Amino acid sequence: MRALIASLTLLVAACGFSPMYAPPGGGAAIGPVTVEMIEGKAGHVLKTELDRLLSVENNGTTPAMLQITLSETVTPLGIRIDESATRAELRLIANYILTPAAPGAQVMRGSVFTVVNYAIPTAAFGEITAQDDARERAAETMAQRFRAELALRMAQARDEGAQR
């Protein structure tokens, strides 16, 4: 079994395999990033989660600045006969600007969104609790998407720089 794993490892290394987002030879895929404060409850959760996820990218160099503007919409779904909703959809949209620390480097702009559905209970104040939980889940999911988006955009920028 070990011989099979070793031979597969050599085969993959010989075919020119390289990590999807990391630079050739290893290193941080994104690099250090400082996330500015984001307004609102979802913004607080998103910033906390991004700080946690991006802390592994800190290599001691000057960090890039990430500014995020968050917007939220709630759409009622599953309408009852009395016109009250039984479910709702919470959509978070984040527009971002990533300003690299290196002078003359290209500023990246984009947006990331996530959608979360939740049930609306009939209990008093139940909708508020359900919506808060959905907001936190959406922000945590969005942080994962941000990490993937930034890694992809940084890899594309490195590829463009290498082709020039």
pLDDT tens per residue across span 83-97: 778 899 999 999 999
Counting every residue written for the chain, the total comes to: 164
Alpha-carbon span 33 to 48, nearest angstrom: 13
What is the per-residue pLDDT for 135? 95
25 dihedral zone (left: phi>0; alpha: psi -120 to 50; beta): left
What is the per-residue pLDDT for 59? 74
- CATH hierarchy code of domain 30-163: 3.30.160.150
Question: Is residue 106 scored above 60 in pLDDT?
Answer: yes
What is the per-residue pLDDT for 27? 60
Query: Helix, strand or coil for residue 46?
Result: helix
- In the chain, the percentage of residues whose pLDDT exceeds 70 is 80
Question: Is residue 12 scored above 60 in pLDDT?
Answer: no
- If one compares 120 and 20, the residue with the highest pLDDT of the two is 120
pLDDT tens per residue across span 57-85: 777 778 889 999 999 999 988 777 777 78
Name the residue ranges covered by the structural domains of the chain.
Answer: 30-163
